A and B are shown apart, each in its own frame.
Chain A
Amino acid sequence: MLGIADAPSDFLRQYLTVGIMAGLGLLLAGVFLGLGYLVRPNRPQGQKYLTYESGVDPVGTGWSQSQVRYYVFALLFVMFDVEAVFIFPWATRLEAYGLFGLIEMAIFVFVLLLGLIYAWRKGVLRWV
């Protein structure tokens, strides 16, 4: 390579590997998709172009408003989800953290519980 020092050319050569891999990937994908295009039968039907919604026929457009109560639902879900995120690692090392960890976790869950009580008394949990 025109007598450049070894180090940069070594470094650049590593990119060659990346390039070869990328090229191979593109080639493989192109070959398989191309083969499929040549071989497969082509029978267009209107139903095949519908949005896939777990086998249920879609209703309405994609841009529709959802009810605000789903928002509350999502908020509560996030709350419990985050709670689980903190509880899980603690639970896997329960013995190591001992009594201290137990008390700390009890305080954590208790504070979240107070939040839940507030939400409940405010009527957030009722499906309006």
Chain B
Amino acid sequence: MFADAPSAIATPDIVWSALAPQLILMIGGVIMLTIVSVIKRRPIKGVYALYTIVIASAALLSTIPLWHRVLNPAEGPSALVGGAVGFDGFSLLAIGIICIGVILCALLADGYLQREGIDGPELYVLMLLSASGGGIMASANDLIVLFIGLEILSISAYIMTSMHARRLSSQEAGMKYFVLGAFASAFLLYGIAMIYGATGSTNLGDIQQFLAENILLKNGLLILGLALMTVGFGFKVAAVPFHQWAPDVYQGAPTPVTAFMASVVKVAGFAGFIRVFTVAFSTYILQWRPAIFALAVLSLVVGSVGAVVQTNVKRMLAYSSINHAGFILLGLQAGTVGTSASLFYLGAYTFMVIGSFGVASLVGRVGDGRQSLDDYQGLSRSRPALALAMAILLLAQAGTPLTAGFFAKFGVIKAAAETHNWSLAVIAMLSAVISAFLYLRIVVSMYFGGTAQEPATLQGPPVRVPASARIAIIVALLGTLAMGIVPEPFSKLAREATAQITAQPADELAPFGPLAGP
């Protein structure tokens, strides 16, 4: 059992500086948890949110020098920690989007938690930890690391969903999300096991190399693994037919947490999805493309049609986020051609969706319960600026020109057309038209709904707009408009990021390195 002479176990070199964004988020979260547990004094209002924003901004800023390092031709993308973590433009841009999402959600959460009287550090700690998991997932170059990142991301999100302890629907949503999320993780893990069985490695680079060099006579195991991983990722990004949890959970969760789920969790999920499928399994694109094609079509159709029959705005936005997932899958099914379009979409989507849910969290008022379409009636009279912001954000989601949504949708449909999937492109455009109806329904309710004497937003407590939420919505609005009016810098960023999305083979020293092949 014991080796006679202990042979030193080779440990991989770790370039700590290249892991800075993930480490800043993680250590920042842990430090916050420790400090608030040691100091008993009641802190100044808003200090938790401020701290979270500082940490997320630090992580965001730390990606800039790393970005230059990656783009520098002398250095280029590389794999860290013995091939377990990929260090390239794609992961850095995804982490950047995640950090922006955390900053905006923390701003929304500040006003929300104070309004509901449940202010505390826990939500922010979980936000930071969840984001660090998302960062790990986005940069994973190994399926096991990907899984660890996914679990850090999801487990924090489960708790955040049930954070509003006094609201039963929040508890219910948390439980649903937990059970279905655990289910999805199991699928993903089983898929990873199958892939390992078929290729002899969990390292994405090694898998890619193995599949490029070998033709599997019996690829049943590999296809099964791919199918199971599709199911797992499909659950995480809420693609139809794995979407059933999304409307319930989005509706039940505290609205800033819904914004977090719709943005950060989805970005991380898609980052992992894209990296695994378009990079590691690039040689098997003909096998997995039909599956992604089907998911995309179903998500587009169910997401847009399902939203039409809803009367609850949060549920409507949940279906619209399923619809958005369909659009991003459009970019995914195109393979490497569509990756930059998907990334651009994810960035645009983050701004649009956080802004929309931000307005929804304000209109929900105390108790976060006023979310029916009727509750938005007359918002244009009681809060004209808020109604205008919501209208612009919703029109952006519908894909109106001069907003981020237009170029995002344009990019992914172009990717579908470039791969000659004309039918998919047509379905996507039709679904955009259908979903425009649902966005316009909310806009109509805000501007033309209700009687002039007594609009619903004037009944009950007034809609208060805390300063932090105002900043968040303004930033989201500016981001949406900037990406729509001058998209070039952003799409250049996305193109540069995907130009060198790579999977690096593991070093010999790797902890999960090339084990004995089959």
B2 close to A92 (CB less than 8 A)? yes
| B215 cross-chain contacts in A, Cβ below 8 A | none
Please give me the residue from chain B that is nearest to A120 by CB atom. Answer: B37
Taking residues whose C-beta sits less than 8 angstroms from the other chain, chain B's interface range is: 10 to 19
Given known A-B contacts A96-B8, A97-B9, A111-B30, A118 and B37 have beta carbons under 8 A apart: yes
B7 close to A96 (CB less than 8 A)? yes
A117 close to B2 (CB less than 8 A)? no
A96 close to B33 (CB less than 8 A)? no
| A101 cross-chain contacts in B, Cβ below 8 A | 9, 11
| B37 cross-chain contacts in A, Cβ below 8 A | 117-118, 120-122
B30 close to A100 (CB less than 8 A)? no
A49 to chain B, nearest CB (A): 39
Please provide the chain A residues from 70 to 128 with a CB less than 8 Å away from any CB of chain B in the complex: 92-93, 95-98, 100-101, 111, 114-115, 117-118, 120-122
A95 close to B38 (CB less than 8 A)? no
A93 close to B33 (CB less than 8 A)? no
Interchain CA distance A117-B37 in the complex, whole Å: 7
B6 close to A118 (CB less than 8 A)? no
| B8 cross-chain contacts in A, Cβ below 8 A | 96, 98
Tell me, yes or no, whether B214 is within 8 Å of chain A by CB: no
Q: Identify which of B9, B30, B38, B40 contacts A96 (C-beta below 8 A).
A: B9
A119 to chain B, nearest CB (A): 8
Please give me the residue from chain B that is nearest to A111 by CB atom. Answer: B30
| B9 cross-chain contacts in A, Cβ below 8 A | 93, 96-98, 101
Please give me the residue from chain A that is nearest to B7 by CB atom. Answer: A96
Interchain CA distance A95-B37 in the complex, whole Å: 36
Interchain CA distance A96-B9 in the complex, whole Å: 6
Tell me, yes or no, whether B34 is within 8 Å of chain A by CB: yes
| B30 cross-chain contacts in A, Cβ below 8 A | 111, 114
Given known A-B contacts A111-B30, A117-B37, A122-B37, A93 and B11 have beta carbons under 8 A apart: no
Interchain CA distance A30-B33 in the complex, whole Å: 62
Interchain CA distance A51-B7 in the complex, whole Å: 54
B34 close to A93 (CB less than 8 A)? no
Q: Identify which of A100, A111, A120 contacts B11 (C-beta below 8 A).
A: A100
Tell me, yes or no, whether B165 is within 8 Å of chain A by CB: no
Given known A-B contacts A100-B11, A111-B30, A117 and B38 have beta carbons under 8 A apart: yes
B151 to chain A, nearest CB (A): 14
Interchain CA distance A98-B11 in the complex, whole Å: 10
Please provide the chain B residues from 1 to 32 with a CB less than 8 Å away from any CB of chain A in the complex: 2-3, 6-9, 11, 30
Interchain CA distance A92-B34 in the complex, whole Å: 31
A118 close to B33 (CB less than 8 A)? yes
Please give me the residue from chain B that is nearest to A110 by CB atom. Answer: B30
Interchain CA distance A92-B3 in the complex, whole Å: 10
Chain A contact surface mostly = helix
| A98 cross-chain contacts in B, Cβ below 8 A | 8-9
Please provide the chain B residues from 36 to 57 with a CB less than 8 Å away from any CB of chain A in the complex: 37-38, 40
Over the window 347-382 of chain B, the binary record of Cβ atoms lying under 8 Å from chain A Cβ atoms (1 yes, 0 no) is 000000000000000000000000000000000000
Interchain CA distance A45-B369 in the complex, whole Å: 62
Please give me the residue from chain B that is nearest to A100 by CB atom. Answer: B11
Interchain CA distance A113-B279 in the complex, whole Å: 39
Interchain CA distance A125-B7 in the complex, whole Å: 42
| B11 cross-chain contacts in A, Cβ below 8 A | 97, 100-101
B38 close to A121 (CB less than 8 A)? yes
Please give me the residue from chain B that is nearest to A117 by CB atom. Answer: B37
Please give me the residue from chain A that is nearest to B2 by CB atom. Answer: A92
Over the window 413-448 of chain B, the binary record of Cβ atoms lying under 8 Å from chain A Cβ atoms (1 yes, 0 no) is 000000000000000000000000000000000000
B243 to chain A, nearest CB (A): 32
| A117 cross-chain contacts in B, Cβ below 8 A | 34, 37-38
| A93 cross-chain contacts in B, Cβ below 8 A | 3, 6, 9
Interchain CA distance A95-B7 in the complex, whole Å: 8
| A96 cross-chain contacts in B, Cβ below 8 A | 3, 6-9
Please give me the residue from chain B that is nearest to A92 by CB atom. Answer: B2
B382 to chain A, nearest CB (A): 41
Interchain CA distance A111-B31 in the complex, whole Å: 10
Interchain CA distance A114-B2 in the complex, whole Å: 33
Interchain CA distance A114-B37 in the complex, whole Å: 9
B34 close to A114 (CB less than 8 A)? yes
Given known A-B contacts A100-B11, A121-B38, A114 and B6 have beta carbons under 8 A apart: no
Q: Identify which of B7, B33, B40 contacts A114 (C-beta below 8 A).
A: B33
Interchain CA distance A3-B238 in the complex, whole Å: 56
Interchain CA distance A93-B40 in the complex, whole Å: 41
Interchain CA distance A92-B9 in the complex, whole Å: 13
Interchain CA distance A14-B2 in the complex, whole Å: 37
B34 to chain A, nearest CB (A): 5
| B6 cross-chain contacts in A, Cβ below 8 A | 93, 95-96
A82 to chain B, nearest CB (A): 14
Can you name 9 extra interface pairs (CB under 8 A) apart from A93-B6, A96-B3, A98-B8? A92-B2, A96-B9, A97-B9, A101-B9, A111-B30, A118-B33, A120-B37, A121-B40, A122-B37
25 A-B residue pairings within 8 Å (CB atoms): A93-B6, A95-B6, A96-B3, A96-B6, A96-B7, A96-B8, A96-B9, A97-B9, A97-B11, A98-B8, A98-B9, A101-B9, A101-B11, A111-B30, A114-B33, A114-B34, A115-B33, A117-B34, A117-B38, A118-B33, A118-B34, A118-B37, A120-B37, A121-B37, A122-B37
Binding site for B on A (CB under 8 A): 92-93, 95-98, 100-101, 111, 114-115, 117-118, 120-122
Q: Which 4 A-B pairs have the closest CB atoms?
A: A95-B6, A121-B37, A118-B37, A96-B6
